[in-house]
């Protein structure tokens, strides 16, 4: 088992030390544990410093100086999302901390950890990664300060940045470091960012020309793939991005180039200039073959949290995954508000059915298992294969989406492999029920001419309620979100209802919705409210749009431009309007009536205020004069309203986890 904190015996030396913002949970769903087990399996001696006290160097020196490097991550979640709500309020809990209590990780944890390591060990190599670093690998808009920030490779003063799913990358980095090279010298490893002086840029061209030979060993499991030299694209530099007149146009162009280059088989090499320095992104690491993916789940995980956390009640995040199975990674859904394509890529990687069955059999022997597998899925549960045959050979299309604005005519919709896995799992001894909770992409499901999957889904794999994510009902809003047209969701809702009636089951859908997404106006929010009025019910799940790095929607939010078209797009920025949009989506809640009336007056729809069946809220209301200047100021720096709380939060009694979710 990887060494944690004081488990190390005196005089021992570790090869690699991970520093993470999460409590240590030895489970394959936790990135630090997975990478540590992989390196341990390769013969490296690995230590883990989990949730160190960042106010001094003491915790960072507990395991001594590593022989090779420190690997630093903020954890499974972005530390700013973990610490703050979209309104800038400190969170009270953190599912990745002992007892679910917040305050165990600092803001911008990756940067803080690197600073402390440099104070303690000035000459030791530092490699950063994880979701926080991955989504901040280039210059990015930072919602919490309402400003642009530089590449995290620059700001952290780390030697190398690993982005995406890091299994291949960390093993190669460790191998090169063991051979005597320094992390800052590694320029050829897929899935990494490195830096060089502008006058040394000729080395980038050498890498581009020789790329096929650099990755041919990793491509052994992809015999159909075409390995070609790569081009070099120079993104707008830091000075261009900060230009007060054209900076947002440059940022939009830069993000589009990054968005187009996320596939291992066809991504170009990207560079970004910071004065005399260049940050260079190599193409992503090649996807894992099924056998390589399977092998990760044979490693000797204990599948529980470190015993140090027993007194605090354990680590809540394990409960979400303890009795679940990860069957795939990657997503070709293309939702604008989701960072998955930026981190995991659009190409689907799937484990074999045999691997999933073996893990399910293991789950039946774990303490506390009661016969229920809580989930079998990935970012999108019913994606189990690449979207088309072309992706296997040359990678995903750079300028076309698989599902939006409609299903691509090259898309292969096939649930047979997934159905086969589910049937095998539910037939195992000791398993009473196998649920699917990670989300179903309903437009893909409807593209399957064989209705077999929907029937078996309703018959065997819904725990009373099925979570789906239509997100909105306005065509304008859905186009900005990259989601299917409203009639597609209505068609699925009708099919789901009819299937359950035919099976004699009383099951329901729980739809997710987003308010204030770029491209969504107050009138669009009203359109959705009227849909709820006419259909009945109130949405249980409404989430305010949260601008986080790495998403197309955040680029829209910052620039007011849709990078896909180059056209201006409406963005709701004031706190007042965002509150009205959310209130409209839950207009039946009495505490929202004031804001709903205010929204209806703003839209000139006072006919919807009153006692009639067509009305959204009762009575009459005269909203007070707004103060857009104050609202805008609060919005521009969401933390400014909580400075005293922010200062108090930087103690062990601080804040925690987000509801931030991914696309389905």
Helix, coil or strand: residue 153: helix
Tens digit of pLDDT for each residue in 292-346? 999 999 999 999 999 999 999 999 999 999 999 999 999 999 999 999 889 999 9
Instruction: List the beta strands (DSSP E) in 41-107.
Output: 46-50, 69-73
Residue 388, annotated as binding a ligand: no
Q: What is the pLDDT of residue 649?
A: 32
Measure CA 300 to chain center.
26
Q: What percent of the chain has pLDDT over 70?
A: 92
On average, the pLDDT of the chain sits at 91
Closest CA to 460 of 434, 437, 439, 441: 434
Q: What is the pLDDT of residue 648?
A: 31
User: DSSP label at 61?
Assistant: G
Q: Does residue 33 sit in the same domain as residue 77?
A: yes
372 inside domain: no
Q: What percent of the chain has pLDDT over 90?
A: 87
Measure CA 163 to chain center.
12
Q: Does residue 32 sit in the same domain as residue 163?
A: yes
Q: What is the pLDDT of residue 647?
A: 35
Measure CA 283 to chain center.
19
Q: Which long-range contacts (CB under 8 A, 24 or more apart) does 579-583 make?
A: 580/522, 580/525, 581/515, 581/516, 581/520, 581/522, 581/525, 582/515, 582/516, 582/542, 582/544
Q: Does residue 17 sit in the same domain as residue 132?
A: yes
* Range in 4-8, 131-135, 447-451, 508-512 the model is least confident about: 4-8
Q: What is the pLDDT of residue 652?
A: 31
Mean pLDDT value of segment 195-204 = 92
By the 8 A CB rule, do 113 and 128 touch? no
Cβ count near 203 (within 10 Å): 13
Mean pLDDT value of segment 106-127 = 97
Q: What is the pLDDT of residue 646?
A: 34
- Is the pLDDT at 397 greater than 50? The verdict is yes
347 inside domain: no
495 φ, ψ to 5°?
-65, -40
- Is the pLDDT at 656 greater than 60? The verdict is no
Q: For residue 651, what pLDDT band results from cuts at 50, 70 and 90? A: very low
Residue 338, annotated as binding a ligand: yes
Helix, coil or strand: residue 101: strand
329 inside domain: no
- CA angle, 175 then 178 then 184, to 5°: 85
Q: Does residue 45 sit in the same domain as residue 175?
A: yes
Q: What is the pLDDT of residue 438?
A: 84
- Is the pLDDT at 207 greater than 50? The verdict is yes
Closest CA to 602 of 538, 532, 525: 525
Q: What is the pLDDT of residue 439?
A: 86
**How far is it, in rounded angstroms, from Cα 402 to Cα 45?**
43
179 inside domain: yes
Q: Does residue 580 sit in the same domain as residue 631?
A: no
CATH number, domain containing residue 516: 3.30.750.200
Distance between start and end Cα atoms, the chain? 35
Q: What is the pLDDT of residue 221?
A: 85
Mean pLDDT value of segment 189-195 = 98
Q: Does residue 645 sit in the same domain as residue 598?
A: no
280 inside domain: no
546 φ, ψ to 5°?
-115, 110
Q: Which residues of 439-464 are buried (b: 16+ CB within 10 A; e: fewer)?
A: bbbbbbbbbeeeeebbebbbebbbee
Mean pLDDT value of segment 624-644 = 42
Residues 6+ apart with CB under 8 A from 11: none
By the 8 A CB rule, do 548 and 135 touch? yes
Taking every pair of Cα atoms in the chain, the longest distance, rounded to a whole number of angstroms, is: 79
Q: What is the pLDDT of residue 659?
A: 35
Number of domains forming the structure of the chain: 2
Q: Does residue 548 sit in the same domain as residue 564?
A: yes
Tens digit of pLDDT for each residue in 544-555? 999 999 999 999
**How far is it, in rounded angstroms, from Cα 383 to Cα 445?**
10
CA atoms within 13 A on the CB side of 369: 23
**How far is it, in rounded angstroms, from Cα 473 to Cα 484?**
10
- Is the pLDDT at 662 greater than 60? The verdict is no
Are β-strands 465-471 and 508-515 bridged in parallel, bridged antiparallel, or unpaired?
Answer: parallel
* Range in 57-71, 186-200, 611-625 the model is least confident about: 611-625
Using a 10 angstrom Cβ sphere, with 0-12 exposed, 13-18 middle and 19 or more buried, the burial of residue 316 is buried
Q: Does residue 639 sit in the same domain as residue 564?
A: no
CATH number, domain containing residue 49: 3.40.50.2300
Q: Does residue 483 sit in the same domain as residue 619?
A: yes
* Range in 64-78, 411-425, 535-549, 599-613 the model is least confident about: 535-549
**How far is it, in rounded angstroms, from Cα 196 to Cα 279?**
7
User: DSSP label at 78?
Assistant: -
Q: What is the pLDDT of residue 2?
A: 59
169 inside domain: yes
Residues 6+ apart with CB under 8 A from 638: 84, 86, 87, 88, 143, 144
Q: For residue 536, what pLDDT band results from cuts at 50, 70 and 90? A: confident
Are β-strands 375-377 and 324-326 bridged in parallel, bridged antiparallel, or unpaired?
Answer: parallel
Whole-number Cα distances in Å, 466 to 300, 435, 497: 33, 10, 11
- With tokens 């240590």, the residue in question is 24
Q: Does residue 500 sit in the same domain as residue 639?
A: no
Mean pLDDT value of segment 381-393 = 94
Q: Which domain holds residue 617?
A: 466-624
Would you state the structure tokens that stand for residue 165, as one six-digit string?
């799913």
Q: What is the pLDDT of residue 627?
A: 43
Give 3-state DSSP helix, strand, coil % of the chain, rounded to 5: 40, 15, 45
Higher pLDDT, 654 or 112: 112
- Is the pLDDT at 11 greater than 80? The verdict is no
12 inside domain: yes
Cβ count near 575 (within 10 Å): 20
151 inside domain: yes
**How far is it, in rounded angstroms, from Cα 576 to Cα 513?**
19
Q: Does residue 27 sit in the same domain as residue 56?
A: yes
384 φ, ψ to 5°?
-130, 5
Q: What is the pLDDT of residue 261?
A: 97
Q: What is the pLDDT of residue 5?
A: 52
Q: Does residue 68 sit in the same domain as residue 178?
A: yes
By the 8 A CB rule, do 219 and 386 touch? no
Residues 6+ apart with CB under 8 A from 657: 77, 82, 91, 93, 94, 95, 96, 100, 102
Q: What is the pLDDT of residue 3?
A: 56
């Amino acid at each position: 088992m990887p060494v944690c904190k004081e488990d190390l015996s005196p005089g021992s030396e570790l090869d690699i030390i991970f520093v993470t913002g999460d409590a240590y949970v030895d489970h394959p769903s936790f990135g630090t544990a997975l990478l540590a087990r992989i390196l341990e399996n390769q013969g490296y001696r690995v230590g883990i410093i989990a949730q160190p006290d960042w106010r001094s160097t003491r915790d960072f020196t507990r395991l001594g100086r590593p022989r090779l490097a420190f690997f630093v991550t903020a954890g499974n979640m972005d530390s700013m999302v973990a610490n703050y709500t979209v309104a800038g309020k400190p969170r009270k809990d953190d599912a990745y901390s002992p007892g679910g209590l917040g305050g165990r990780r600092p803001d911008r944890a990756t940067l803080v950890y690197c600073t402390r390591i440099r104070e303690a060990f000035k000459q030791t190599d530092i490699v950063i990664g994880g979701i926080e670093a991955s989504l901040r690998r280039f210059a990015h808009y930072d919602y919490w300060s309402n400003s642009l920030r530089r590449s995290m490779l620059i700001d952290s003063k780390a030697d190398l940045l690993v982005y995406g799913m890091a299994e291949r990358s960390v093993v190669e980095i460790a191998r090169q470091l063991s051979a005597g090279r320094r992390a800052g010298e590694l320029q050829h490893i897929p899935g990494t960012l490195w830096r060089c002086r502008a006058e040394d840029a000729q080395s980038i061209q050498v890498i581009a020309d020789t790329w096929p030979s650099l990755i041919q060993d990793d491509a052994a499991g992809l015999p159909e793939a075409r390995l070609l030299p790569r081009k070099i694209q120079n993104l707008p530099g830091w000075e261009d991005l900060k230009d007060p007149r054209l900076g947002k146009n440059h940022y939009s162009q830069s993000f589009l180039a990054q968005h187009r280059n996320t596939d291992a088989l066809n991504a170009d090499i990207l560079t970004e200039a910071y004065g005399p320095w260049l940050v260079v992104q190599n193409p992503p690491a090649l996807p894992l073959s099924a056998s390589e993916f399977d092998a990760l789940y044979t490693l000797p995980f204990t599948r529980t949290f470190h015993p140090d956390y027993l007194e605090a009640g354990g680590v809540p995040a394990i409960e979400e995954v303890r009795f679940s199975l990860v069957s795939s990674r990657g997503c070709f859904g293309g939702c604008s508000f989701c960072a998955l394509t930026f981190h995991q890529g659009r190409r689907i990687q799937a484990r074999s059915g045999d691997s999933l069955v073996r893990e399910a059999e293991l789950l039946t022997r774990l303490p506390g298992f009661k016969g229920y597998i809580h989930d079998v899925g990935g970012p999108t549960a019913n994606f189990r294969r690449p979207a088309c045959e072309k992706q296997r050979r040359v990678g995903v299309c750079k300028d076309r989406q698989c599902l939006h604005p409609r299903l691509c005519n090259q898309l292969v919709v096939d649930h047979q492999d997934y159905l086969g896995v589910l049937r095998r799992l539910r037939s195992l001894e000791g398993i009473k029920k196998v649920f699917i909770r990670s989300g179903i992409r309903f437009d893909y499901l409807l593209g399957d001419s064989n209705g077999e999957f929907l029937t078996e889904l309703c018959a065997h794999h819904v725990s009373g309620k099925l979570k789906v994510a239509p997100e909105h009902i306005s065509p304008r809003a859905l186009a900005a979100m990259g989601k299917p047209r409203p009639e597609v969701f209505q068609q699925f809702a009708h099919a789901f209802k009819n299937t359950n009636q035919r099976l004699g089951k009383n099951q329901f859908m729980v739809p997710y919705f987003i308010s204030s997404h770029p491209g969504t106006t107050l009138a669009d929010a009203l359109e959705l409210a009227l849909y709820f009025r006419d259909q009945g019910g109130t949405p249980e799940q409404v989430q305010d749009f949260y601008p986080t790095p790495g998403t197309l929607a955040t680029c829209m939010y910052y620039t007011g431009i849709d990078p896909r078209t180059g056209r201006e797009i409406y963005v709701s920025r004031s706190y007042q309007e965002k509150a009205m949009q959310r209130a409209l989506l839950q207009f039946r809640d009495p505490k929202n009536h004031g804001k709903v009336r205010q929204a209806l007056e703003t839209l000139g729809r006072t006919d919807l205020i009153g006692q009639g069946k067509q009305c959204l809220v009762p009575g009459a209301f005269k909203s007070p004069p707004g103060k857009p200047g104050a609202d805008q100021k609060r919005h521009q720096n969401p933390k400014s309203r909580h400075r005293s709380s922010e200062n108090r939060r930087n103690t062990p009694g601080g804040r925690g986890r987000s509801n931030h979710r991914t696309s389905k």
